Amino acid sequence: MAGERGDRRLFEGLDIALAAGSVTWLRGRNGRGKTTLLRLLAGLATPAEGRIEVMGRPQREGGPEGRRMWVYVGHQNALKDDLTVTEALRFLARLHGLPHDDTALRRALKQLGMAQRQHAAVRTLSQGQRRRVALARLALSAAAPLWLLDEPYDALDSDGIEALNAVIGAHAEAGGCVLLTSHQALSITRPPPAMLDLEPFAPRPAARAVLDEPGHVARQ
C-alpha cells in the first residue's frame, strides 16, 4: 500500500496485518504519513496503491455495517462548548451510532475519570479533561474490533494516561486491536505494544543524472 498527501508520496510498499488482541504503536518522523495511514484505514482517504481489508472484506464494500467495524479518534476533540459533558458525549455517541443512554454515558465517563464533571459545561474544562471526554467514546465502542487513535495521549496527565491504558488494554484483551500514534513513550504493558515504523517505507529518491566525466553521464 502507498499513501500520499497532495502530490507528495509519504510511504509505499507497506503491507501490514493487525491481529486481534494487539496494540500497535505507529511511529515515524513528522510528515512521514502516520495520520495519513490512520485516515486511509478509517476510509477517510483512498490509498495511492494497494487495498485495505477489514475482517477479510474490502474496506469500501462494507457499507454502513462495515464502517461500524472501526473507530477513528483524531486530533480534534469535537466537543461543543455550550453543552455539558454528558450532552457532548451523547452528541458524539449518536453521531457515530453508539449507545447513548444515561447508564452507558455515565459508565463511559467513569472509565475516563470524568464522572464527577458530567454536568459541567465543556467550556469550563481543561484541555486534558476535554481529551478525556472525547476518548470516553472508546468506552462506548467495544463492539468495533479496530480502534485507530491519533495522538490519544495528548494533554493527558498521569491519571488520564492510566485510565486510557486501562480502556485500551481491556479492548485488546477482549479480542480487539488498536493502532495508535504517540510522541511520548507508551506506558501500557498489557498487552505489550508492537511497533510499526514508517521510516523503512519512505519513497526512494528518484534517480538523477549527473556529469561524471566529459561525455559520460552517471546515474544516481
* DSSP character string of 110-126: HHTT-GGGTTSBGGGS-
Q: Residue 59's pLDDT is what?
A: 74
pLDDT at 164: 98
At 60-112, the pLDDT tens digits run 666 666 678 899 999 999 999 999 999 999 999 999 999 999 999 999 999 99
CA distance 155 to 76: 12
CATH number of the domain enclosing 123: 3.40.50.300
Domain limits for position 180: 3-219
Gap between the Cα atoms of 148 and 146, Å rounded: 7
Say how many domains are in the chain.
1
β-pair type (70-73, 177-181): unpaired
Residues lower than pLDDT 70 in the chain:
60-66, 206-220
What is the model's pLDDT at position 7?
87
CA distance 27 to 79: 27
- Predicted pLDDT of residue 67: 72
Residue 56: what pLDDT?
Answer: 74
C-alpha 143/C-alpha 98 separation (Å) is: 9
Check residue 216 and give its pLDDT: 45
